[in-house]
């Protein structure tokens, strides 16, 4: 709670308000503060289709260059869910944070009929609707705010992580670093060296750990990495001869996104910027 929000609470204490009244007031103030900090819904028209995202913008983003983080939900997820589970805007309030909403699309491992929202898997799928969505949002942010173009990042879980890999392959020059979670990629041949953090669960029942392990090996080879060393809990960093370190976060869990990941993703992003 901010100092400004706390002052009326302190005044009530001096006036002898009841404990129950103070508790109700405290809860109301906490709800108000959280509501004020919550990302706001924004809409853009892309190819004649309304696309939306939840957007957090720092108060000084029109006058001070701000980093930008895109956060993509998994297949069947939502922008609201990714805002809750990643909460990058709470961990890095100085950044512009975008939680885009996907459209219904067939899944590779589930939902073959495409009844749930997700992201395109390959360049050219669905007329590149999601790549165009990304282009539109980033261009709009650059027009409206002072974007720090040396600090643009993407992260996501599962299908959202796969889309992050596709963005790296097709829009790589836009990013300083990426951090996919619970995905294996088939676009290694399209990637150029870039700092990357990959989050994987050893018991992932959907995107098998063996598949993700092969992806992580390929990333270290691509980025010309040497031996690893401890970087954080459950994390190993592999230094790169070309300035593109690889961090692997291997946790003991399943396909579910681990609660411990978001602070480490923010830590990794803060350490990376384009030359």
- Summarised one tens digit per residue, pLDDT across range 225-249 is 999 999 999 999 999 999 999 999 9
- What integer is the mean pLDDT of 171-177? 98
Segments forming the whole domain that contains residue 99 = 38-271
Residue 175 belongs to a domain: yes
Q: What is the CATH number of the domain that holds 75?
A: 3.40.50.1820
Query: Does 244 reside within a domain?
Result: yes
Distance of CA 198 to the CA centre of its chain: 12
Where would I find the beta strands (DSSP E) of the chain? Answer: 40-46, 49-56, 66-72, 96-100, 103-104, 117-118, 147-157, 177-181, 196-201, 225-232, 235-240, 246-251
**Separation between Cα atoms, residue 165 and residue 156, nearest integer Å:** 9
Going by C-alpha positions, the residue among 207, 190, 48, 197 that lies closest to residue 122 is: 190
Tokens 């983080």, residue located: 69
Band (2; pLDDT cuts 50, 70, 90): very low
Per-residue pLDDT at 28 exceeds 80: no
Which tokens hold the place of 41? 């819904």
**Global confidence as pTM:** 0.86
**Per-residue pLDDT at 266:** 98
Tokens of 86: 């990643």
Query: pLDDT of 101-151, one tens digit each?
Result: 999 988 777 778 888 999 999 999 999 999 999 999 999 999 999 999 999
Q: What pLDDT was estimated at residue 186?
A: 81
């Amino acid at each position: 709670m901010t100092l400004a929000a706390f002052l009326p609470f302190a005044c009530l204490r001096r006036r002898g308000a009841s404990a129950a009244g103070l508790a109700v007031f405290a809860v109301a103030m906490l709800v108000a503060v959280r509501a004020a900090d919550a990302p706001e819904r924004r809409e853009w028209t892309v190819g004649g289709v309304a696309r939306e995202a939840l957007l957090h913008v720092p108060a000084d983003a029109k006058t001070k260059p701000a980093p930008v983080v895109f956060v993509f939900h998994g297949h069947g997820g939502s922008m609201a869910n990714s805002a809750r589970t990643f909460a990058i805007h709470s961990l890095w309030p100085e950044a512009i944070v975008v939680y885009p909403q996907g459209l219904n699309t067939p899944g590779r491992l589930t939902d073959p009929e495409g009844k749930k929202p997700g992201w395109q898997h390959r360049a050219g799928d669905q007329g590149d609707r999601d790549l165009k969505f990304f282009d539109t949002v980033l261009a709009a942010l650059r027009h409206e705010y002072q974007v720090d173009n040396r600090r643009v990042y993407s992260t996501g879980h599962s299908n959202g992580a796969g889309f992050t890999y596709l963005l790296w392959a097709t829009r790589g020059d836009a990013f300083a670093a990426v951090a996919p979670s619970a995905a294996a990629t088939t676009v290694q041949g399209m990637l150029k060296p870039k700092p990357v953090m990959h989050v994987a669960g050893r018991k992932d029942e959907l995107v098998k750990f063996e598949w993700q392990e092969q992806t992580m090996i390929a990333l270290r080879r691509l980025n010309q990495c040497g031996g690893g060393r401890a970087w954080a809990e459950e994390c190993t960093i592999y230094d790169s001869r070309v300035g593109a370190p690889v961090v692997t976060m291997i946790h003991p869990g399943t396909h579910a996104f681990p609660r411990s990941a978001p602070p480490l993703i923010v830590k990794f992003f803060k350490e990376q910027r384009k030359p």
